[in-house]
């Protein structure tokens, strides 16, 4: 059996070379003296100078703050435009819809769009593009806080002719297929 002090020297050597410490492996090798070795390792690590984290470890920890859909897209090396183009193809939409799909997807990716309003066909297409359960990724993403309602006090009594109401209704933007796919939920809308 190897003495705890000998394994501690091995750990210190790994630490000095910047190698992984493999504490679990060392504790398994020492057998019944694992508690003694654990105490020696703890004492060493408490006194050892702190090191800056490795760049890849730091990048990984920072990436944990990114929304899951964003991390999934970046893991594939997909740019936002590439993902939008793939979604347009998967959903059978016209190419001119790509800009609007990109905008809606980016809002979804950043938690600015209510995921409950996204049609099942969009989730299916995203799952194919990302190779992962996109709806599950969005479930781990907290929704952006909703803005509070804003009220305005009316101080005058306006007499608005009915023709103005009709004109305003005509001028109101009409929802297209992309709007319905990203904001209407699973109500049967979607490209066929």
Average pLDDT (47-57) is 84
> Taking the model in full, what pTM does it have?
0.54
Ranges 49-53, 101-105, 123-127: which has the least confidence: 49-53
Average pLDDT (180-184) is 92
With a pLDDT cut of 70, the percent of the chain lying above it is 78
Cβ–Cβ < 8 Å for 160, 114: no
Q: Could you identify the residue written with the tokens 């995203």?
A: 126
Distances, alpha carbon 5 to alpha carbons 11, 15, 36, 40, 86, in Å: 10, 15, 9, 8, 58
Give the whole-angstrom CA distance, residue 31 versus residue 38.
11
The pLDDT assigned to 190 comes to 39
159 or 100, greater pLDDT: 100
Smallest Cα–Cα separation from 126: which of 76, 66, 62? 76
Residue 15 has pLDDT above 70, yes or no: yes
Average pLDDT (10-35) is 92
* End-to-end Cα separation, the chain, in angstroms: 69
With a pLDDT cut of 90, the percent of the chain lying above it is 56
The pLDDT assigned to 2 comes to 87
Give the whole-angstrom CA distance, residue 168 versus residue 122.
32
Residue 106 has pLDDT above 90, yes or no: yes
Average pLDDT (34-38) is 94
Residue 40 φ then ψ, to 5°: -65, -45
pLDDT band at 166 (very low <50, low <70, confident <90, very high): low
Residue 112 has pLDDT above 80, yes or no: yes
**Domains of the chain and any CATH numbers:** 4-47 (no CATH), 65-144+175-187 (1.10.260)
Cβ–Cβ < 8 Å for 163, 157: no
Ranges 17-31, 114-128, 152-166: which has the least confidence: 152-166
Give the whole-angstrom CA distance, residue 159 versus residue 192.
46
Residue 188 has pLDDT above 90, yes or no: no
Residue 82 has pLDDT above 50, yes or no: yes
């Amino acid at each position: 059996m190897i003495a705890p002090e000998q394994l501690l020297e091995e750990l210190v050597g790994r630490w000095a070379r910047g190698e992984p410490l493999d504490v679990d492996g060392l504790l398994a090798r020492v057998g019944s003296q694992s508690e003694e070795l654990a105490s020696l390792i703890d004492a060493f690590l408490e006194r050892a100078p702190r090191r800056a984290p490795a760049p890849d470890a730091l990048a990984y920890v920072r990436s944990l703050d990114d929304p899951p859909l964003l991390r999934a897209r970046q893991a594939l090396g997909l740019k936002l435009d590439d993902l939008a183009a793939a979604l347009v193809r998967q959903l059978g939409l016209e190419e001119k819809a790509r800009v609007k799909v990109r905008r809606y997807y980016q809002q979804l990716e950043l938690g600015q769009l209510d995921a409950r309003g996204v049609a099942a066909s969009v989730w299916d297409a995203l799952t194919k593009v990302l190779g992962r359960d996109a709806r599950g990724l969005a479930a781990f993403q907290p929704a952006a806080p909703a803005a509070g309602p804003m009220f305005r006090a009316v101080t005058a009594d306006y007499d608005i002719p009915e023709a103005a109401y009709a004109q305003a209704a005509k001028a109101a933007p009409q929802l297209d297929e992309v709007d319905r796919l990203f904001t209407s939920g699973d109500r049967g809308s979607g490209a066929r």
